[in-house]
Structure 1
Amino acid sequence: MLPKELHKFFWEHNPAELDEKTYWYFTIGRLLEYGNDQAIRWVFSHYPQEKIIEVIKSSRSISKKTANFWKNFFHLREEEVFCLTKSSHQPGINS
């Protein structure tokens, strides 16, 4: 179960029903995109780095700004991050 202080980042879901182990991909992506320092610390303490990087590389729901920050943080190549590749750029999407 998510800590109460993280519930605000999952406004459209009932946090009591959101299992962070089952929905790890969604949870990581949401907190990387919208989380504060406390949320990011929680992500890093609850998930292995490999899962965090997997979300950064393949998520379609994080912004280019967020993806670029985490790409630099983990020293990833731009072509490894889906939302930073040319094929993912469509007018009005991922802007």
Structure 2
Amino acid sequence: MEKIIELTQKNIGKFTMQSASIPIFLNSFFWEYDTATIDTAKHASLIMGRIMERGSWEAMRWLHQTYSADDLALFLRTKGIQILPARELNFWALLCGVPDRTRNHWVKKARAKNSVWTQRYAH
């Protein structure tokens, strides 16, 4: 847990990769954007969130090869907890080597966020 918090405090919002455009096979995940303008460094949060939540196996492999485990863990810590469903958050946290205690805490928060569906009133 300390490693991830330390990383976040030092580098919040800063990913370590260089700029590049996304490959053509990812265009369908970003249908509402002009994909020629999507930059892997500048739009890292958008790319990570979209692929972590909806990506194909090929897209997930590309994401893992393009961004470092530290970059992915930083995203999970700063934004993933709020935007990813618990299942995807758990998967990516495991893949990035997030310690069990931290991962379980994140997943618990993600499940609580989604509880609006379990609390609805239906006849």
Using structure 2 for the length normalisation, give the TM-score: 0.62
Pick which of 34-43 and 50-59 moved more. Answer: 50-59
Mapped to 2, the partners of 1:72 and 1:16 lie a distance apart of 32
Deviation per CA, 1:20-76: give whole Å up to 9, x if none. 110111111111111111111111111111011112223222112211222333343
Partners of 1:49 and 1:71 in 2: how far apart?
10
Contact 1:68/1:84 (<8 A) preserved: no
**Runs of at least 5 residues in structure 1 that lack an aligned partner in the other structure:** none
Identity %: 21
**How far apart in 1 are the matches of 2:83 and 2:49?**
7
The answer for unaligned runs of 5 or more in structure 2 is 1-20, 118-123
Q: Would you say the 8 A contact 1:28–1:55 is kept in 2?
A: yes
2:40 to 13, 20, 25: 20
- Determine the C-alpha separation between the residues in 1 that align with 2:41 and 2:23: 13
* Other-structure match for 1:63: 85
Tell me which residue corresponds to 2:68. 48
Question: How many residues align structurally?
Answer: 90
Q: For 1:29-44, what aligned pairs fall within 5 Å after superposition?
A: 29-44=49-64
Q: What's the RMSD between the two structures over aligned residues? A: 2.1
What TM-score results when the alignment is normalised by the length of structure 1? 0.78
Is the 1:67–1:84 contact (alpha carbons within 8 Å) kept by the matching residues of 2? no
1:84 offset after TM fit, Å? 3.4
Which structure: greater helix fraction?
2
Structure 1 runs (4+) deviating above 3 angstroms are none
Larger radius of gyration: 2
Quick one: distance in 2 between partners of 1:72 and 1:49?
Answer: 11
**Contact kept? 2:49, 2:84, Cα under 8 Å:** yes
